[in-house]
């Protein structure tokens, strides 16, 4: 039992250090992104002049025939990034097809090259599915039409999941239409800068969204479960190993969950998520009925130790679910419902994990009937 308590304390210290380090890294990244936005705003005219000159230079390489289309696209892909005062910006090229759709020919995300704009947008929107920001599906055709047949340099604004900062941002992008005279191929070239950060990576960590009593309850429940297994299986050859394994697994998931980053969402989206979690909680009744069958079987087979251990785990999981079923509809703002949703999700997931251990116990017992060596894992 002492080794379990010592291991738990060590796990808490390791989690604390890793979380502090993660927060430090996020703060550093946030500072860099903020500095970049401040630079972009402060040096707006300077950047616009450089963007205009660079876009004109690159379009002329194609339109004057200095480079043919294939060589120009190769040049764009080999020179995607532009470094200005240690700040990084990237070009993109879209080719317009006959049906007013676009094919991406050059991009900072190399995996998007030669994919349709529709597919790229679909992938980006999957990354933005949890946020309240969306990107206009007609973004490229609007930019193309805005530039016009005279290939004027224009500026457009839109929301984007920036591949450099990995954050939802507001982009201000300089665009220009290009046309290759020989083949009639045409499209859009652009380079943009971030003008606003739409999310705060620090506050997006689940740790800051979960109610603190729930954090303590879940953490202590992992210790309690390990102590129960150690106590109930003290005559088992592998009781300590099993207890420490379960303690480790549960706390690995604990750390994983509380350090997940989520982009800001809308009130409506959070309400839908709460409904989904509530539906999931109701579905656990099926899992509970299976575990009741397992407990009954273990009791009938006189596996007293395994029955008692599984019963305590089952009771602990049901106890956690009671917290998740508590109703609170006094929502003052999105933060209130966000806290409720994440806390219930955390509790629900742990309740499922606990129920899983009961099923694993039963599987070990069932297999031990055939393979005698597994009896070492079963308490008397």
Residue 129 has a pLDDT of 46
pLDDT digits (tens, 9 = 90+) for 231-255: 776 656 667 778 888 899 999 999 9
Residue 320, phi then psi, degrees to nearest 5: -65, -40
Question: Token pair for residue 309?
Answer: 């251990």
Average pLDDT estimate for 259-282: 71
The position carrying tokens 């224009």 is 154
pLDDT digits (tens, 9 = 90+) for 314-351: 888 888 877 777 666 666 666 777 777 888 888 888 88
Residue extent(s) of CATH 3.30.450.20 domains in the chain:
43-197
pLDDT digits (tens, 9 = 90+) for 99-130: 889 999 999 989 899 999 988 888 776 655 44
Cα-based distances in Å from 65 to 188, 205, 259, 344: 17, 51, 53, 62
Question: Token pair for residue 230?
Answer: 């150690």
Average pLDDT estimate for 349-365: 83
Residue 283 has a pLDDT of 67
Q: What DSSP assignment string belongs to 336-379? A: HHHHHHHHHHHHHHHHHHHHHHHHHHHHHHHHHTT-GGGGGGS-
The position carrying tokens 């990237």 is 90
Question: Token pair for residue 343?
Answer: 């806390």
Instruction: Out of 187-191, 220-224, 342-346, give the one with best mean pLDDT.
Output: 187-191
pLDDT of 134 over the 90 cut: no
- Which residues does residue 176 pair with via DSSP β-bridges, in sequence order? 189
Average pLDDT estimate for 267-277: 72
Average pLDDT estimate for 358-378: 70
Residue 242 has a pLDDT of 80
4 touches 223 (CB < 8 A) = yes
Question: Token pair for residue 173?
Answer: 């992008």
The conformation of residue 149, written as its DSSP 8-state character, comes to T
Which is more confidently placed, 23 or 265?
23
pLDDT of 299 over the 80 cut: no
Average pLDDT estimate for 62-76: 94
Residue 107 has a pLDDT of 94
What's the pTM?
0.67
pLDDT of 77 over the 90 cut: yes
CA atoms of 26 and 335, how far apart (whole Å): 21
3-state class of 296 per DSSP? Answer: helix
127 touches 90 (CB < 8 A) = no
Alpha helices, DSSP H, located in the chain: 2-42, 44-63, 69-78, 117-127, 139-147, 212-232, 239-258, 267-300, 304-324, 334-368
Which is more confidently placed, 159 or 78?
78
How far is residue 55 CA from its own chain's centroid?
A: 35
Residue 165 has a pLDDT of 77
pLDDT digits (tens, 9 = 90+) for 137-151: 899 999 999 998 888
pLDDT of 377 over the 60 cut: no
CATH 3.30.460.80 fits domain 43-197: no
pLDDT of 131 over the 70 cut: no
Count of all residues that appear for the chain in the document = 380
Which is more confidently placed, 291 or 189?
189
**Cβ atoms within 10 Å of 222's Cβ, excluding its own:** 22
Question: Token pair for residue 4?
Answer: 């379990």
Percent of the chain with pLDDT over 90: 36
**Cβ atoms within 10 Å of 101's Cβ, excluding its own:** 14
pLDDT digits (tens, 9 = 90+) for 196-221: 887 655 456 777 778 888 889 899 99
Residue 238 has a pLDDT of 65
């Amino acid at each position: 039992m002492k080794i379990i308590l010592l291991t738990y304390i060590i796990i808490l210290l390791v989690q604390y250090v890793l979380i502090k380090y993660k927060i430090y890294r996020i703060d550093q990244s946030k500072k860099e992104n903020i500095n970049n936005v401040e630079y972009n705003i402060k040096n707006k005219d300077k950047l616009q002049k450089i963007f205009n000159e660079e876009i004109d230079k690159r379009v002329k390489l194609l339109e004057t025939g200095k480079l043919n289309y294939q060589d120009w696209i190769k040049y764009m892909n080999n020179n995607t990034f532009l470094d200005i005062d240690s700040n990084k910006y990237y070009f993109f090229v879209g080719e317009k097809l006959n049906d007013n759709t676009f094919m991406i020919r050059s991009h900072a995300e190399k995996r998007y090259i030669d994919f349709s704009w529709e597919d790229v947008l679909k992938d980006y929107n999957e990354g933005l599915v949890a946020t309240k920001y969306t990107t206009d599906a007609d973004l490229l055709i609007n930019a193309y039409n805005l530039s016009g047949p005279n290939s004027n340099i224009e500026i457009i604004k839109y929301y984007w999941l920036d591949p450099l900062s990995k954050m939802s941002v507001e982009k201000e992008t300089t665009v220009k239409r290009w046309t290759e005279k020989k083949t009639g191929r045409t499209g859009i070239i652009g380079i943009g800068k971030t003008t606003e950060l739409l999310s705060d990576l620090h506050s997006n960590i689940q740790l800051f969204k979960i109610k603190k009593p729930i954090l303590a309850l879940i953490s202590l429940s992992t210790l309690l479960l390990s102590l129960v297994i150690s106590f109930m299986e003290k005559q088992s050859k592998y009781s300590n190993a099993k207890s420490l394994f379960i303690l480790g697994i549960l706390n690995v998931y604990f750390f994983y969950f509380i350090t997940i980053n989520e982009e800001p969402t809308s009130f409506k989206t959070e309400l839908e998520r709460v409904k989904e979690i509530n539906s999931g909680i109701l579905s656990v009744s099926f899992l509970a009925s299976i575990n009741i069958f397992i407990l009954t079987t273990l009791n009938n087979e006189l596996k007293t130790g395994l029955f008692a251990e599984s019963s305590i785990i089952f009771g602990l999981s049901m106890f956690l679910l009671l917290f998740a079923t508590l109703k609170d509809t006094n929502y003052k703002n999105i933060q209130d419902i966000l806290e409720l949703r994440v806390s219930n999700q955390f509790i629900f997931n742990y309740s499922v994990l606990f129920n899983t251990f009961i099923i694993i116990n039963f599987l070990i017992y069932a297999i031990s009937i055939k393979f005698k060596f597994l009896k070492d894992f079963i308490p008397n």
